[in-house]
A = this chain, B = another copy of it.
Amino acid sequence: MVTETKLSPAEMSERTGVSIDTLRYYEREGLVQNVTRAENGHRRYSENDVLWIGVLRCLRATGMTMEQLRHYCELGAQGVTTIPERRQLLTDHRAVVEQQVAELNEALALIDHKLEYYR
Chain A interface residues (CB < 8 Å from chain B): 55, 58-59, 61-62, 83, 86-87, 90-91, 93-94, 97-98, 100-101, 103-108, 110-112, 114-115, 118
Contacts and interface: CB of A to CB of B under 8 A. Distances in A.
A59 B107 contact: yes
Contact of A111 (B94, B105, B112): B94
A28 to B, nearest CB: 25
A108 B87 contact: no
Given A58-B106, A62-B104, A106-B58, A111 B97 contact: yes
Q: Which of A91, A103, A107 has the most CB of B within 10 A?
A: A107
Contact of A118 (B58, B83, B105): B83
Contacts of A87: 115, 118
Contacts of A108: 94, 97-98, 101
Contacts of A112: 94
Contact of A110 (B58, B110, B111): B58
Nearest to A112: B94
Contacts of A91: 115
Contacts of A106: 58
